[in-house]
């Protein structure tokens, strides 16, 4: 049953002239003051959520996004700041893009955040999806096999560092430590200083393609999965949930359908579904313009992506529309009663599900986000009264 409500904010600034008829994504270019406003926007959202009963505010790591789309380059630094500006809210790394880090630097930084926040910063890892980011930092992304191989070795190292008093590692990409002379002896082992105070570390990872290899890797490490929201297909992908359960079974972990998952939705609330569809269409379309260019919307053809670059052709072209996303279950919208009904049905279908994340689409301005998260908390979450909890989620069995 659903007991935790989260929200994910990838770090977009308030942008103008949005939707299929608005400014093409690659034509947007903002100055530093505007791009920096994403940090204060994140703070405003977190402060609004604090005390409303939300469990976790998630942010995404991104770099060089001069278009104003994803402008928080260090979510651990931002998360620690937000724990000082809030009182109850957990702050989640949704997600640290591991191939852009040395794994031991990431492990150290999280350990410090865990200690200094008294456990309110939640760890997360991902492989990345922007070539401009990952390849610039010297790691592969175009070569997906190389990216996956590097990511898996890095995560293995991170968990070894978290969970061991001392450790060593020899793999394709890293030999840790190097066997060098140190204080009169040859270095053979390392100790992460400091290690996280709370062990085992709660860790999350997005589920994008839903491959068996990815889910078995997550199950092995006890990593929990976020389905939908951001760049991923929204809502409950039933085949993914079944494969997730099967992956845990291989490691001797019997879990219910939906357990150890968070279902993420873009959302927009209003007095009726019809009104929401009218008001939120431009936000949905701006989100599609951004992620379509990155080839993360599987249903889009190259011709459709090319059309979205032309604000004269795009509004009347055959392109994805918000009505289709709502019908498919990836975009949560309507009145409070309609949203509650949807979530109650979700609970029945997935009895192990205890967490849902609602996220603003790209292009939603700060004032609207603040109104929306407050409205959701006051009109939807009371239907789950007595269940909503700020306690930390259960770790791997």
167-176: per-residue pLDDT in tens?
A: 999 999 999 9
Confidence of residue 235 (pLDDT cuts 50, 70, 90): low
- Exposure class string for 100-119: b at 16+ Cβ within 10 A, else e: bbebbebbbbbbebbeebee
120-165: per-residue pLDDT in tens?
A: 999 999 999 999 999 999 999 999 999 999 999 999 999 999 999 9
Q: Is a pLDDT exceeding 50 seen at residue 219?
A: yes
Confidence of residue 238 (pLDDT cuts 50, 70, 90): confident
Quick one: which of 388, 384, 317 has its CA closest to 344? 384
Determine the average pLDDT of the residues in 301-306. Answer: 94
196-205: per-residue pLDDT in tens?
A: 999 999 999 9
Determine the average pLDDT of the residues in 384-388. Answer: 69
Q: Is a pLDDT exceeding 60 seen at residue 302?
A: yes
Q: Is a pLDDT exceeding 80 seen at residue 395?
A: no
pLDDT at 299: 82
Determine the average pLDDT of the residues in 336-359. Answer: 95
Quick one: which of 294, 253, 274 has its CA closest to 132? 294
Determine the average pLDDT of the residues in 105-111. Answer: 98
Mean per-residue pLDDT over the chain, rounded: 93
Question: Hey, is 203 helix, strand or coil?
Answer: strand
pLDDT at 344: 94
Q: Is a pLDDT exceeding 90 seen at residue 391?
A: no
178-189: per-residue pLDDT in tens?
A: 999 999 999 999
Quick one: which of 123, 55, 42 has its CA closest to 82? 42
DSSP H stretches of helix in 191-319? 212-221, 238-250, 273-293, 302-308
Q: Measured between alpha carbons, how far is residue 364 from residues 78, 134, 242, 283 in Å? A: 21, 26, 33, 6
Determine the average pLDDT of the residues in 365-382. Answer: 97
Q: Is a pLDDT exceeding 50 seen at residue 392?
A: no
pLDDT at 233: 47
pLDDT at 330: 85
pLDDT at 229: 57
pLDDT at 387: 56
Q: Is a pLDDT exceeding 50 seen at residue 390?
A: no
pLDDT at 394: 41
Quick one: which of 355, 103, 125, 352 has its CA closest to 218? 125
Q: Which residues contact 156 (CB under 8 A, 6 or more apart)?
A: 169, 171
| Contact call for residues 203 and 221 (beta carbons, < 8 A) | yes
Determine the average pLDDT of the residues in 220-229. Answer: 91
Q: Measured between alpha carbons, how far is residue 247 from residues 150, 152, 386 in Å? A: 21, 16, 32
pLDDT at 297: 84
Q: What residues does 204 pair with on adjacent strands? A: 124, 224
CA Rg value for the chain: 21
Tokens of 213: 């290899």
Q: What is the pTM of this model?
A: 0.94
Determine the average pLDDT of the residues in 7-34. Answer: 96
39-93: per-residue pLDDT in tens?
A: 999 999 999 999 999 999 999 999 999 999 999 999 999 999 999 999 999 999 9
Cα 180 vs. chain centroid, distance in angstroms?
39
């Amino acid at each position: 049953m659903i007991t935790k409500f989260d929200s994910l904010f990838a770090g977009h600034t308030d942008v103008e002239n949005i939707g299929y008829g608005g400014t093409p994504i690659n034509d947007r270019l903002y100055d530093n003051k505007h791009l920096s406003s994403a940090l204060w926007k994140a703070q405003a959202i977190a402060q609004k959520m604090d005390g409303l009963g939300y469990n976790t505010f998630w942010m995404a790591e991104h770099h060089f996004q001069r278009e104003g789309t994803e402008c928080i380059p260090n979510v651990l630094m931002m998360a620690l700041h937000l724990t000082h500006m809030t009182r109850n809210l957990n702050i989640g790394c949704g997600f640290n893009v591991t191939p852009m880090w040395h794994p031991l630097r990431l492990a150290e930084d999280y350990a410090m955040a865990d200690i200094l926040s008294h456990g309110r910063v939640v760890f997360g890892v991902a492989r990345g999806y922007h070539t401009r980011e990952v390849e610039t930092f010297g790691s592969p992304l175009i070569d997906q096999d190389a990216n996956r191989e590097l990511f898996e070795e890095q995560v293995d190292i991170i968990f070894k560092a978290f969970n061991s008093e001392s450790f060593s590692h020899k793999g394709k990409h890293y030999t840790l430590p190097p066997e060098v002379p140190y204080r009169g002896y040859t270095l053979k082992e390392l100790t992460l200083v400091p290690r996280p105070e709370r062990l085992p570390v709660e860790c999350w990872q997005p589920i994008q393609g839903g491959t068996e290899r990815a889910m078995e890797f997550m199950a092995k490490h006890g990593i929990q999965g976020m389905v939908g929201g951001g760049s991923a297909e929204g809502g409950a992908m039933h085949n993914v949930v079944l494969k997730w359960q099967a992956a845990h079974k291989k490691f001797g972990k019997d879990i219910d359908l939906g357990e150890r998952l968070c279902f993420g939705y873009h959302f927009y609330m209003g007095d009726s579904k019809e009104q929401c569809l009218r008001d939120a269409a431009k936000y949905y379309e701006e989100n599609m313009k951004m992620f379509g260019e990155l080839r993360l919307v599987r249903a889009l053809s190259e011709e459709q992506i090319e059309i979205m670059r032309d604000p004269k052709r795009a509004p009347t072209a055959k392109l994805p529309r918000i009505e289709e996303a709502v019908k498919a279950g990836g975009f949560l919208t309507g009145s409070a009663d309609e949203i509650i009904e949807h979530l109650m049905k979700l609970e029945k279908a997935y009895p192990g599900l205890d967490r849902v994340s609602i996220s603003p689409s790209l292009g939603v301005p700060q004032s609207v986000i603040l109104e929306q998260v407050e409205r959701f908390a006051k009109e939807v979450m009371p239907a789950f009264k007595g269940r909503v909890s700020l306690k930390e989620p259960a770790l791997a069995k």
